[in-house]
Amino acid sequence: MSTPEQLAIVQSKFTTGETVVIAMEAKLCQGWLKSTRLIAVVNKGSTSALVVLITSRNPPQVYSDLTIEKILPIDQDFQCNIGTDEEQQDVTDVFLNVTCRKTRTIFEMRPGIAATNLVSAIFQAIDVYQKNKNPTTDFLWIQKLTGSVRSLDISGDQEETISDPIVDLESQDINISRRNIATGKTPIAPRESVVRYQMACKEDDYTYTKNFRLFIGTWNVNGQPPIGITLQKWLSCDEEPPDIYAIGFQELDLSKEAFLFNDTPREEEWRHIVSRSLHPDANYEQIALVRLVGMMLIVFTQTAHLPHIKNVCVDTVGTGIMGKMGNKGGVAVSCTIHNTSVCFINAHLAAHSEEYERRNQDFADICARLHFSTYAPSKGFKDHDQIYWLGDLNYRITEMDAFRAKQFLAGGNLLPVLKLDQLEQQRKLGKVFQGFHEADITFKPTYKYDPGTDNWDSSEKGRAPAWCDRVLWKGEAINSIAYRSHPELKISDHKPVSSIFDSQVRVIDVAKYRKIHEDLMKKLDKLENEFLPQVTVDTTEVIFETLRFDEPCSKELIVANTGQVPVEFEFIKKLDDASYCKDWLSITPYTDFIEPGQKCDIKLEVRVDKRSAWKLNSGADQLYDILVLHLVNGKDIFITVTGTYERSCFGCSMEALIHIPVPIREVPAGRIMELENSKNLSQDPYSVPKEIWLLVDRLYRHGIKTPGLFETQGLHSEVLAIRDWLDVGSQDAMPGSVHSVAEALLLLLDSTPEPLIPYNLHSQCLSATASYLQCKQIVMQLPEIRRTVFLYICAFLQELLNHTQDNGLDAKTLASLFGSFFLRDLPRARDDRIHRSRTIQPTFDRKKAAFVYHFLINDQSDFIGR
C-alpha cells in the first residue's frame, strides 16, 4: 500500500481537506479469526482519525473496491500500544492494540518500514491532539463519513457497540463477526497463537503480584584483592534480608593476564567473600555468575524462591578496544521470577572526563548486542518486564572545577554539583538510558578517593569527584527504597553503592490459570464446532429403477446449507479410485459453494454407453456406487447410487453373442456373465452374431439402393426401438428407417469391449496398408469369429458398392467409416487430453481407411471359400 497510486485510491474515499497520511494492509484479529483490512491515518486540520477499510480486492484498484468500516477519532479516548508476538519463532508480527470508546481492536501487521511509519503517524497524531486538545466539534467531519454520531459520543451508549463488528476481547465471550465468517474469506489462525494472545490479554485474571525485595550493589574495586575485609557493611546493612541480590564489580583484576585471557583468581576470591557477607537472616543460593575480564555480576536468591526462578541466562558485551575487548562493556543476567522477566546488567562504560559521548555509545551498544538465547526466539535486553542497570558508568562532572565541587560537597551541598552530572544531563537530553529511572542521589560522589581513606584523590592528576557508580531501573511496579554509598569500604579508589527495591513480581495462580485456559479451550472448541459447515441432503440413497443401454436417466440430489457458514462441497475420490464416481455416472456440479440458508441442486445422470455396457454385462462392474460428498473443512456424507440395468446385445462381445441363440433378455444375466468370461460355451455357436446378421440383412433387403446410406444420421428413438427389438425379440418387422438400422449396426460394432480387429494387431494393420497381400495375411491371423464378421461386413459393403448409381456411395467413404470402427482407438480416460495430437490423428485415420479399402475393392472369393 505504499505506492502513490494506491494511496490515491484510499484518498478518493475522502474529500478535500481530509488527507490520507498513510495507509497499509493489516489483519484485523477477532478471536481466532484474522481478516484483511486497510488501515489509514487521515487528518483534517489538526484532528486525525484511524480509519479501517474493507477492500474487496487486494490491493484495491478502484474507488469502489473500498468500504469504510470504522473511523476511530484520535482524541482523549484513543489509546494505542504496540506488542510483538515473541514466542512465534518465524514471524514476529507487530500487534497494534487500539482502544477507543471502550472497544479494543487488535491489528496484526507485517513488521517493516510501513508498519513503523504507520505507528509513528498514529503517535504523532496523538501528540498533536495532546497539544491542541481539540473540542469534540472539530471531529464532526468523522460524523459525516460514518453517518453516525456513535464514534463521537464519549459518554458511550454501550448498547450500540454490541452490534459493532469489532471484537471485544475482554468480554466474557469471544464474539466473532458473523458477517466476516459469512464472506467465507476469513482464514483461521493457528489456535496456538490465538490462545497465547488471549491468555496474555487475561493475564490479570490469573496472576497476582508479590513483593520482592531486591538488593542491587556495584563496586569498582580497582584491582584490589579482598584481603582482610568483610562486606557486611555493604551487603547486609539493612534489617530485612533481601529476596534477591545482584552484585556487580568492575576492575576486579587489572592484570594483563586477566585482560588477555579473561582468567583470574579474583573471581573466586570475591565470589567467596560476597557469599559469606550476605544477610545472615536468610539462606541464599547463587543462581548466576557472569564475568568478562574485570566486570563480574553475581545473582543470589533466597533458597525458598529457587523453584520459581527459571530461564536463567547470561550474556556479555565487550565495548573496549575495537569494540570487542572486555576491559569495558557489560555483563548481564536474565531470568524469570515467577511470571516476570528480569534483567540485571553490570556495565563499565568508557572512562575519561570528556568522553560522555563514548559512554552513551557504549550504552547503546550493550543494549543492542545483549542476547539471551535460552528463550526462543532469543530475548534482547528490552524484552524484559524489569531491568536493573548498575555499574561504573563513568559519567563525570566537567563544568565545575574540582576545587569548587569539593567545597560544595564538604558543606554537604550536593545539588549544585549534581546538576552538572553528565549522566543527569545526557539523560535529560534523551541521549542515554531512555526510559530508565534513578533514585535521588543523597550520597557524596563515590570517586575518586585515596585508597584506604575517605580523602579525595591527592595524586598529581587530582581527579575531580564524580558519581561514577550508579544504579538505574526500568519497568513497572518498581519502588526504590534506598540508594546510598558505603564509604566504610576503603580498599578501592571507588566507594561501593547499593540500592534497595521493592518490586512487584507477577505470580501465576496455577489453578486459576488452568481454569481460564480450559474455559478458553472450551470456547474455542464450541466456536469451531459451531462454525463447521453443515448441510442436509434430501436423500442418501439414489435409486434408478431400470436403465437401458444408451438411454440416459437423471435424478436430483438437493444439498441444503443448514449451518452458519458458507459451504464448499466437493465429491471426492475414494482411496485408490481414479475418479470420484463410476464412468456411467456424471455429477453436475460436482463442486460448488452454497451460502447459508441456500440450496444446491445436483444432477446425477446415469448413462450406460458403449464404454460401460460391457463391464456391466460381464459383471466387471455393477450399477452401484458410493459417492463421498465432502464439505471442505467439515464432514463427509455418503450417497449410495444404485440402479437395475436391462441387459442388451449392445455392449456384448461378438464371442458371447454367437452363443446366444435367443433374444438376450430371455437369457439370465448370470449366463451372459459366464459367456463373457468364456465359461460353459455352447456346442454350436453361430458363425456371425444373429444381431449383426439381422441388421445387415435388413439393410441388404431395404436399404441397398437408399441414397446416403451410412451417411445420414438415424433417429435416436428409432435406434432405441431397434435395440429393444433385438433384445426382446418380436414377430414384427424391425422398426425404424434404414438409416437408423445402419446406425444401430455401427453402434453394435462400437460397443463391443474390443474393436473387431483386436488392439494388438492395430499397428501391424496400419503399417501393412501399402500391400493388399500383407493386409490379407493379417486378416488371416484374426480369431475365426472376428474374421468371419469382418469378411461378412466387407462382402456386404462390396454389395452396396455394386449399387453406387443408386445409393451414391463410394469405396473411400465406406472404407474410412468402417476403418474407424474396425480399428477403433483405445478409449480415452475421462480427462485425458493428451492423446494423439491433432496433426497425427488424420494420418492414422487415413491408414485405417486404406486398410479396409483393400477389402472393398478386391475380390475376396478366395477368402470366403475357406
Residues that bind other proteins (CB under 8 A): 83-87, 89, 95, 188, 190-192, 195-197, 199-201, 203, 310-311, 336, 338-341, 382-385, 474-476, 506, 508, 510, 513-514, 517-518, 521-522, 524-525, 528-529, 532, 540, 572, 574-575, 626, 628-638, 640
Q: Give the number of other Cβ atoms within 10 Å of residue 846's Cβ.
A: 15
Biggest CA–CA distance in the chain, Å, is 145
We find the least distance from the C-beta atom of residue 50 to other proteins, in angstroms, to be: 20
Beta bridge partners of 302: 284
The neighbour count for residue 200, using CB atoms within 10 Å, is 12
194, containing H or E segment: helix 191-201
List, edge to edge, every strand of the sheet that includes 478-485: 284-292, 295-302, 244-250, 207-220, 497-508, 478-485
Q: What stretch of H or E contains 445?
A: none
Closer by beta carbon to other proteins, 459 or else 529: 529
Instruction: Supply the minimum distance, in Å, between the C-beta of residue 518 and other proteins.
Output: 5
> Least distance from C-beta 129 to other proteins, angstroms?
23
Q: Which residues are CB-neighbours of 845 under 8 A, at least 6 positions away?
A: 816, 819, 820
Residue 612's closest CA among 709, 751, 808, 414?
751
Q: How far is the CB of 754 from other proteins (least distance, A)?
A: 29
Residue owning grid cell 429403477: 545
Min separation Cβ 378 and other proteins, Å: 13
- Specify the residue, 523 or 611, whose C-beta has the smaller distance to other proteins: 523
Please say which residue, 420 or 572, places its beta carbon nearer to other proteins. 572
Q: C-beta of 138: minimal distance to other proteins in Å?
A: 32
Nearest to other proteins of 505, 658 (CB atom): 505
Nearest residue (CB) to other proteins, 230 versus 591: 591
Q: Based on CB atoms, which residue is closest to other proteins, 201 or 325?
A: 201
Give the Cα separation of 665 and 649 in Å (integer).
9
For other proteins, the closer of residues 145 and 508 by Cβ is 508
Least Cβ distance, residue 168 to other proteins (angstroms): 18
Backbone angles phi, psi at 171, to 5 degrees: -70, 160
d(CA 689, CA 745): 12
Residue 89 vs 137, nearer CB to other proteins:
89
Distance CA 160, CA 173 (A): 17
Backbone angles phi, psi at 205, to 5 degrees: -75, -20
CA distance 87 to 199: 13
**Residue located via cell numbers 428407417:** 737
C-alpha distance from residue 103 to each of 98, 157, 200, 286, 748 (Å) = 8, 12, 17, 46, 76
Separation CA 258–CA 171 (nearest Å): 59
Question: To 5 degrees, how large is the angle CA 83–CA 51–CA 81?
Answer: 20
CB of 785 vs other proteins, minimal distance in Å = 38
Smallest distance from other proteins to CB 90, Å: 9
Q: Which helix (H) or strand (E) holds 735?
A: none
- CB closer to other proteins out of 67 and 540: 540
| 544 vs 855 by CB, closer to other proteins | 544
C-beta of 595: minimal distance to other proteins in Å? 19
Cβ atoms within 10 Å, residue 488: 14
Residue 856 C-beta: closest distance to other proteins, Å: 51
We find the least distance from the C-beta atom of residue 603 to other proteins, in angstroms, to be: 21
Give a three-class secondary structure readout of 351-402: CCCCCHHHHHHHHHHHHHHCEECCCCCCEEHHHCCEEEEEEECCCCECCCCH
Of 310 and 828, which has the nearer Cβ to other proteins?
310
Nearer to other proteins, 571 or 863 (CB): 571
DSSP state, residue 693 = H
